């Protein structure tokens, strides 16, 4: 394995980190802005039939996840060949133009095409992660990935809130705002974003290596990398329970209104941002990445268990700060994984990781909604509305066991003579 690239220093490195942080916030913000209005826009094309709209919306969501699965490794491999800057900027430009298309779409097929394109362009998040690996020394990557996690949290909290406000003015306005954010970010990056991958560390592009199955096979080349991939997949799958059933669960069990749900999501985002942006570097410094990974998975399992068994909304809220500690797991896993591959393959690695997230996004919504329906329906073996969250707790517990085994292997490797 070749040596890691020398990260930029001083103002140049700081500007690059700020841009990547802003890029992720704006990407997620732009995606989140359309969440409150997209189902209603689809319903308008279905003559107001909410049942039909719900079915179509599910198809839209699956299509988005499929595009993430297919194109995350493609963008990662392209960034290994042509550099991160071009891929990130072109993706931001594509997102901006795509939101304009969705803003003016007057037919359901055209709106669907727009959603497919947004899934392709949003796959640039894998390239943003590879950029972080390029410019950050290994011992600081967990902290940097923690900042990206905080950006995700802020984007998902602010996006739907802003989208709801914009929709009150005009149902199409959220798409125009999302387009403005993405295009502004593309311009900002074109002016200030330096390239992170020097020409001598780039690798040839081939479609054989860029397809998602080949990228996932890449993860099996090293025992520890394969194990960490399993940890990431189980964690991503467990996370899908929140967008899949949280709103339905909160209404069914606690009779929370849309406003209540919005306030709870804001609290989730704030706690996540505090943990990932504020506590991450201190925990990694004190515990190391392996122990931080285990602590995060354990906290997530406990948090989901609280969510699933909470008899009142107050008890559910107690679980939020516990759950927020789960946010330290993924940055730790990513930092450990980036240390296992050559600098020329960081893009492929991140593409493979986000392909796993795409698989979770395809499987998870059906899995958790069916479990929820099973345990609240008339034929339920026992009424247990929190069953989806308990399933997620089990997935994270399994991820913790796997991470324990992988951590042991990594520890042995680190102690072995070179």
Alpha carbons 345 and 204: distance in angstroms, whole number: 10
Q: Taking CA 356 as the corner, what is the angle to CA 87 and CA 205, rounded to the nearest 5 degrees?
A: 40
218 and 348 in contact (C-beta within 8 Å)? yes
Alpha carbons 292 and 283: distance in angstroms, whole number: 7
Alpha carbons 392 and 246: distance in angstroms, whole number: 12
Q: Tell whether the model's pLDDT for residue 379 goes beyond 90.
A: no
User: 61-80 pLDDT, tens per residue?
Assistant: 778 888 888 887 888 888 88
pLDDT at 254: 92
Alpha carbons 316 and 264: distance in angstroms, whole number: 10
The fraction of the chain above a pLDDT of 90, given in percent, is 22
Q: Which of 331, 337, 339 is nearest to 297 (CA)?
A: 331
More confident residue, 344 or 413: 344
User: 101-120 pLDDT, tens per residue?
Assistant: 999 999 999 999 998 998 88
Q: What would the 3-class secondary structure string for 290-305 be?
A: HHHHHHHHHHHHHHHH
Architecture in CATH for domain 7-192: Up-down Bundle (1.20)
More confident residue, 189 or 4: 189
Q: Which residue has the tokens 């949290």?
A: 153
Q: Tell whether the model's pLDDT for residue 221 goes beyond 80.
A: no
Average pLDDT over residues 331-341: 84
Q: Domain 214-418: give its CATH code.
A: 1.20.1250.20
Average pLDDT over residues 280-288: 86
CATH 1.20.1250.20 residue ranges of the chain are 7-192, 214-418
| DSSP H helical ranges for 83-199 | 84-104, 108-121, 125-135, 141-169, 173-192
pLDDT at 181: 85
pLDDT at 393: 97
Q: Taking CA 129 as the corner, what is the angle to CA 126 and CA 132, rounded to the nearest 5 degrees?
A: 155
Q: Taking CA 17 as the corner, what is the angle to CA 292 and CA 34, rounded to the nearest 5 degrees?
A: 90
122 and 152 in contact (C-beta within 8 Å)? no
More confident residue, 154 or 305: 305
Here the tokens at position 243 are 């967008």
Banded model confidence at residue 386, pLDDT cuts 50, 70, 90 = very high
Q: Which of 34, 55, 68 is nearest to 360 (CA)?
A: 68
What does pTM read for this prediction?
A: 0.73
Q: Tell whether the model's pLDDT for residue 283 goes beyond 50.
A: yes
Q: Taking CA 375 as the corner, what is the angle to CA 370 and CA 377, rounded to the nearest 5 degrees?
A: 90
pLDDT at 296: 95
36 and 174 in contact (C-beta within 8 Å)? yes
Give the number of other Cβ atoms within 10 Å of residue 230's Cβ. Answer: 17
Banded model confidence at residue 3, pLDDT cuts 50, 70, 90 = very low
pLDDT at 413: 53
Banded model confidence at residue 322, pLDDT cuts 50, 70, 90 = very high
Sign of CA dihedral 386, 389, 393, 394: positive
Query: 211 phi and psi, to 5 degrees?
Result: -75, 155
Q: Tell whether the model's pLDDT for residue 321 goes beyond 90.
A: yes
Q: Which of 44, 317, 397, 348 is nearest to 225 (CA)?
A: 348
Banded model confidence at residue 11, pLDDT cuts 50, 70, 90 = low
Banded model confidence at residue 245, pLDDT cuts 50, 70, 90 = confident
pLDDT at 6: 46
Q: Which of 335, 324, 341, 351 is nearest to 293 (CA)?
A: 335
């Amino acid at each position: 394995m070749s040596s890691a690239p020398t990260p930029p220093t001083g103002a140049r490195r700081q500007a690059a980190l700020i841009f990547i942080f802003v890029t992720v916030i704006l990407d997620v913000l732009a995606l989140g802005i359309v969440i409150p209005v997209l189902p209603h826009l689809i319903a308008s094309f279905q003559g107001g039939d909410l049942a039909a709209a719900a079915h179509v919306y599910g198809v839209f969501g699956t299509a988005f996840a499929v595009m993430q699965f297919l194109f995350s490794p493609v963008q990662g491999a392209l960034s290994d060949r042509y550099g991160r800057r071009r891929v990130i900027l072109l993706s931001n430009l594509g997102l901006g133009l795509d939101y304009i298309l969705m803003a003016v779409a007057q037919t359901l097929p055209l709106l669907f095409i727009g959603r497919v394109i947004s899934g392709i362009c949003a796959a640039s998040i894998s390239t943003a992660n590879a950029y972080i690996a390029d410019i950050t020394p290994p011992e600081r990557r967990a902290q940097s990935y923690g900042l990206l996690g905080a950006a995700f949290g802020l984007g998902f909290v602010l996006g739907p809130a802003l989208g709801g406000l914009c929709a009150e003015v005009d149902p199409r306005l959220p798409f125009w705002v999302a387009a403005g954010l993405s295009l502004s970010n593309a311009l900002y990056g074109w002016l200030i974003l330096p390239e992170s991958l020097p020409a001598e560390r780039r690798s040839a592009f081939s479609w054989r290596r860029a397809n998602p199955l080949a990228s996932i096979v890449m993860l099996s080349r090293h025992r520890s990398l394969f194990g960490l991939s399993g940890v990431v997949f189980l964690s991503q799958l467990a996370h899908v329970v929140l967008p899949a059933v949280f709103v339905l669960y909160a209404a069914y069990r606690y009779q929370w209104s849309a406003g209540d749900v919005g306030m709870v999501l804001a609290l989730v985002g704030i706690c996540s941002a505090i943990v990932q942006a504020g506590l991450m570097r201190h925990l990694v410094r004190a515990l190391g990445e392996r122990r931080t990974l285990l602590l995060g998975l354990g906290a997530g399992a406990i948090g989901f268990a609280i969510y699933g068994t909470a008899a009142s909304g107050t008890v559910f809220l107690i679980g939020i700060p516990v759950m927020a500690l789960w946010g330290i797991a993924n940055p730790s896993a990513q930092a450990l994984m980036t240390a296992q591959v050559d600098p020329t393959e960081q893009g492929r690695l991140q593409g493979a990781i986000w392909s796993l997230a795409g698989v979770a996004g395809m499987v998870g919504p059906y899995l958790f909604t069916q479990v929820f329906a099973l345990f609240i329906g008339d034929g339920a073996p026992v009424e247990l509305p929190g069953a989806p969250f308990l399933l997620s707790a089990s997935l994270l517990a399994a991820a913790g066991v796997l991470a324990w085994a992988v951590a042991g292997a990594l520890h042995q490797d680190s102690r072995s003579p070179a």
